[in-house]
Amino acid sequence: MSSLDSLLNRQRVVCQLHAVSKKRVLELIAQHIAEAEGSLEVGQVYTGLLERERLGSTALGTGVAVPHCRVPGLDKPLGCLITLASPIDYDAPDGEPVDLLFVLLVPPDAAQEHLDLLAEVAGRFSDAGYCKGLRQAASVTSLLESAVAAKAA
């Protein structure tokens, strides 16, 4: 099983992204991931994330969402960590707007790994101190350092 630590890199961390809606943030995330990963197409990632959201919101509550989907052609899971400049409505179960997202993309045949990674993400993002540290980051470097430092603790 992959650890979340191995899913992140500097190219897949976005600090203070400007977006005004769930649909727009998913579109921007898809563009960002496709640019960082030359083998992925924007439309493929966006469609996968949007289709998953149509099944039900991936917001966890307390300002956190974990958009995720399976992507054909992907050979290993990858993640993207994003903070938003302003919280957006995300149809969260607690009604709170979202400002912290962890996007998870997995290969189509990685069902158990997908579930295991989602559980790990949910566990880490249920820690208020961990989320606070991420929200306080003012740059990609500090956001990545906060994520890794908190994971190591």
DSSP 8-state class, residue 58: -
Query: Residue 6's CB: how many other CB atoms inside 10 A?
Result: 11
Residues annotated as catalytic are 68
Relative to beta strand 98-106, strand 68-70 is parallel
User: By the 8 A CB rule, do 116 and 141 touch?
Assistant: no
Q: Which amino acid is at 69?
A: C
